[in-house]
Amino acid sequence: MSRLRTDADLRDGKTGFDMTAAMAAAARASETGQPDPLIRDPYARLLIADAGIGIWKALLDDSLFAKLKSADPGTAAYLDCLRSYQAVRTQFFDEYITDAVTRNIRQVVIVASGLDSRAYRLDWPAGTTVYEIDRPEVLDYKFKILASQGVAPAVDLREVSVDLRHDWPAALWGAGFNPLLPTAWLVEGLLVFLPADAQDRLLGQIGELSAVGSRLAVETAASYAKGSREEMRQRFRDIAAELGLVQPTHLQDLMYNDPDRAVVTDWLNTHGWHATARNSGDELRRLHRWNGGGPIAEDKDAFADFVTAERR
């Protein structure tokens, strides 16, 4: 297991949002700017304009990326792989949500929404309500930045401002959530930052709130080998120093590599869901976005599964 994380590890000092959310948004912004992007997130770059993202800045600056590639081709390949991963992940879960609302599910809950902009950029059927759950400072930051640019939600958006360590189901009910209606849940980019017992508790709480016919999409927790984590941590520190960047806490330091973690598909299939999984590495290859993976190429566990399930 990685070292115990603290709140300070996760928060950007200027804005208060998660560094992990900023890194994911940087990858989406970078992908959006590609000649033939897999996804388009027109708000991602706007949301990280004031974020300190260290070496991840290379994804947004072609000249900086060229310097990185010259200095450390392996780390450049790793960042490029993560950009493609975020694009593939975003497309997969965009399609999941689009399919759910096409099948007349009108209640969507995005758990730990971070800088997710789906409520602003997707096409939503009339009568749909989207609930975003995250800490108050995260949701307030996102809303204020987008509102300052005249960007409004494209759907009835309900912000559920609560830390997931607290009674978030009560906060969700208070925002108007109806557990008797089928719901489409999205848990993206979260489980890897939770220990095993917290993962089980979260999935159990979602199950308790899910009517028959509800759907759930989950990104499982990738698990980097100890050697890979240490190698990438040192590479990031070295190249950030060489490029004159202030590197925030390394991403791998924020992850829980918990040996007791349940396999999500197995857990769901024994708790009232019918679940299937696709490996993200396979999705990268299917969509012709596999670049070899850089230093993590041989670490199969470093590529999460994308799980979808229906409540029985």
Q: Per the structure, how many domains does the chain have?
A: 1
For residue 159, being part of any structural domain is answered with: yes
pLDDT tens digits along 211-235: 999 999 999 998 766 666 677 778 8
pLDDT tens digits along 143-191: 999 999 999 999 999 999 999 999 999 999 999 999 999 999 999 999 9
pLDDT tens digits along 113-156: 999 999 999 999 999 999 999 999 999 999 999 999 999 999 99
Q: Which domain holds residue 300?
A: 19-311
CA distances from 156 to 126, 134, 191 (A): 9, 17, 27
Band of pLDDT at residue 240, cut at 50, 70 and 90: confident
For residue 71, being part of any structural domain is answered with: yes
Give the mean model confidence (pLDDT) for residues 44-59: 86
More reliable by pLDDT, 99 or 76: 99
What is the rounded CA–CA span in Å between residue 162 and residue 159?
9
Per-state percent for the chain, helix, strand, coil, to nearest 5: 50, 15, 40
For residue 9, being part of any structural domain is answered with: no
CATH number at residue 38: 3.40.50.150
- DSSP 3-state assignment of 49? coil
For residue 3, being part of any structural domain is answered with: no
Q: Which amino acid appears at position 216 of this protein?
A: L
For residue 14, being part of any structural domain is answered with: no
Q: Please say if the pLDDT value at position 282 is more than 50.
A: yes
% the chain with pLDDT above 90: 67
Task: Report pLDDT for 4.
Answer: 35
Which of 236, 248, 220, 280 shows the shortest CA–CA distance to 22?
248
Task: Report pLDDT for 225.
Answer: 63
Question: Whole-model pTM?
Answer: 0.91
282 CB burial (10 A radius; 0-12, 13-18, 19+): middle
Task: Report pLDDT for 132.
Answer: 98
Band of pLDDT at residue 299, cut at 50, 70 and 90: low
For residue 271, being part of any structural domain is answered with: yes
What is residue 191's DSSP assignment?
A: G
For residue 1, being part of any structural domain is answered with: no
Helix (H) or strand (E) holding 308: strand 305-311
- DSSP 3-state assignment of 258? coil
For residue 6, being part of any structural domain is answered with: no
